[in-house]
A and B are shown apart, each in its own frame.
Chain A
Amino acid sequence: MSEVNEQMMPPKVVLPKLEKNLYEARAIKSFLLTAMVWGLVILASIPLFSVIYMLIVEGGARLDWEAITALPPAGFETGGGFGNAIVGTLVMVGIASAISIPVGVLAAVYLSILEPQSKLATTSRFLAKVLTGFPSILAGVFVYAILVITTKTYSAWAGGVALAVLMLPTVTLAAEEAMRQVPQRMRDAAFGMGCTRTQVIFKVILPTGMPGILTGVILAVAGAAGESAPLLFTALFSNYYMAELAEPTASLSILIYNFSGMPFENQIELAWAASLALVVMVLFFNILARIVGRSKF
């Protein structure tokens, strides 16, 4: 029996060691690098949690009904709030949206559907990308030159236009991308039924691309709400509720900027509370954008 067994055995082959040796140089290197990447990610998350912690602890303590309705306090006053700044921010973001969303979506229609390869489309797509990297303060300088100097007053209009300059490229590029995602065969089917281009756009492409367009638009709104540099010398600031659009207007971000450098405890607390209000506003839009983007029509 044993003879047979020996005959049946395959010839002995010397196999290389297939197990991974944990102490091999490259395994150690792998481990160290993995640990480093984990460290980077955790370290990078710390600022966010620190900011959120400070906002809740410092800002949450002051964020009450008085803070969101009262007027900003002067020097040594106690109490007060930033009701006018909330109104101002909302109004100016509203003006900016009213200008930039229609223009941006129209531009996106041209870029993605009407003449995607034309010279104008290539140029304006490229310039829109350049504009997204445009320093926001320059939008303020530009609008100061065209609106504040000519009308001789800081105004909510000027602030809104400055924000619109920043929103326009974001809206355009996001809407273009969303419309591009609409399958070609849906367009072809609509054309095949004899629709005009406008009908295809309004009845097929816009409804289908709507979640994507809305996501882009809402993110642009969120970005605009948090902007402060372009408002600094277009809308300036005001200590009162706005009576008309053609007067200096308060905004949350400028209030935070102004109050952060003040030597008064009360103002600094309010700056934190205003920051919390602003971040809640911005995050609300961000989450909304995510929810809308996920929904399918």
Chain B
Amino acid sequence: MIFDPFKASASDKTLSMPPSQADFLRDSAFRYLAYFGALSIVLLVAYIVFELGVQALPAIQTHGFGFITGTTWNASEEEFGVLPEIWGTLYSSLIALIIGGTFGVGIAIFLTQGFVHAKMEVTFRTIIELLAAIPSVVYGLWGIYVLIPMLVPVAQWLHETLGWFPLFSTELGGPGLAPAALVLAIMVLPTVAAISTDAFRRIPYKVKEAAYGMGATKWEVILKVMLPTASSGILAGLVLGFGRALGETMALAMLIGNVNNISLSLFDPANTLASLLASTFPEAGQIEIQALMYAALVLLAITLVVNLLGLAVQQYTMRKFEGKK
């Protein structure tokens, strides 16, 4: 029998008992399981990057850097280039960010700066959260049958009166950049609003009180004190929202027209990397699939850079307010 310090110190009448051998075993087994759980996330990311790289390798070898600068996608002639898709991805996301960002920040101000009673704030916050909960395909469907018919006359009018302006230089003939970017803006808005709301909430209450105490009006407080203080948090929200927009697939595949086209006009059809994947992948042959894997890798690289940037800004903000780590 091994000497057990627990048993030796306990009297015979005690109810308490030391952890048994099985308890210790269960403890370390569980800790190893948890360890592997945490490890699995790291392995998953590594595996994703590795696997996409391996799959894209043949295409990278054949097409090289010309893939990124090429402008045609022709499977029958094995000619692949994604410059129009990269342009479309960045351009549509940027427009979406400008619109969705304005609304998102506006809503964050509305929800945090005491415009309505706290109970109403909850109602509006729920509406914004529900906006985020609606699936992307449903927005796509809504875009096709509600937004596009609504936009066509507006676009026609803009083209006729302001046709010299590059943004309105063509007519909207159905799917195109404008409806796609608008739906994208609706989808970016909740992300920006949520992160910006958080940034406003982090500002200590006394900062606001001090500003009011000096006789500033509500908007002087918001514009001169709250916004600058929350600016890095808002920036993080904008960058992460941009990342979200870059990777959005279904609504864009349904609304953007899937035409390889580099144009400034909002009413031209265009294409994005994600919707290229969505629309081409199911019917692609082997060579084309390799090229699509390359396109997926390009998309991964772009979103990774943007997301890392956003997270870095977010970390910076947290450090600024909490002064730790």
Interface residues of A (CB under 8 A from B): 26-27, 29-30, 33-34, 36-38, 40-41, 43-45, 47-48, 50-51, 54-55, 58, 102-111, 114, 120-121, 123-124, 126-131, 133-138, 140-142, 144-146, 165, 168-169, 172, 194, 196-199, 201, 222-223, 225-229, 232-233, 236, 253, 256-257, 260-261, 268, 271-272, 275, 278-279, 282-283, 286
Contact = CB atoms under 8 A, between A and B. Distances in A.
A130 B45 contact: yes
4 nearest CB pairs, A to B = A135-B247, A106-B37, A226-B135, A107-B37
B109 A37 contact: yes
A134 B307 CA distance: 8
B42 interface: yes
Contact of B31 (A45, A128, A198, A223): A198
A227 B223 CA distance: 38
B34 A26 contact: no
B19 A229 contact: no
Nearest to B24: A196
Given A134-B247, A260-B141, A127 B42 contact: yes
Interface of B: 16, 18-19, 23-24, 26-27, 30-31, 33-42, 44-45, 47-48, 51-52, 54-55, 102-103, 106-107, 109-110, 115, 124, 127-131, 133-142, 144-146, 186, 189, 217-220, 222-223, 240, 243-244, 246-250, 253-254, 274, 277-278, 281-282, 292-293, 296, 299-300, 303-304, 306-308, 310-311
A146 B137 contact: no
Main secondary structure of the interface of B (DSSP, over half): helix
B254 A138 contact: no
Given A38-B110, A44-B107, 17 more contacts: A29-B217, A51-B134, A108-B37, A109-B37, A111-B38, A135-B247, A137-B296, A138-B296, A138-B299, A141-B293, A142-B52, A145-B52, A145-B55, A196-B27, A253-B250, A282-B134, A286-B129
A50 B143 CA distance: 11
A230 B154 CA distance: 34
A135 B37 contact: no
A128 B244 CA distance: 15
Contacts of B139: 51
B238 to A, nearest CB: 13
Nearest to B189: A44
Nearest to A41: B110
B133 A226 contact: yes
Given A51-B139, A141-B293, A233-B282, A194 B18 contact: yes
Contacts of A123: 42
B103 A226 contact: no
30 contacts: A26-B217, A37-B109, A40-B110, A44-B131, A50-B142, A51-B142, A107-B38, A109-B37, A114-B31, A133-B243, A134-B303, A135-B246, A135-B300, A137-B274, A137-B299, A145-B54, A165-B44, A169-B41, A196-B27, A198-B26, A226-B133, A228-B135, A229-B250, A232-B278, A233-B281, A260-B140, A260-B141, A261-B254, A275-B141, A279-B135
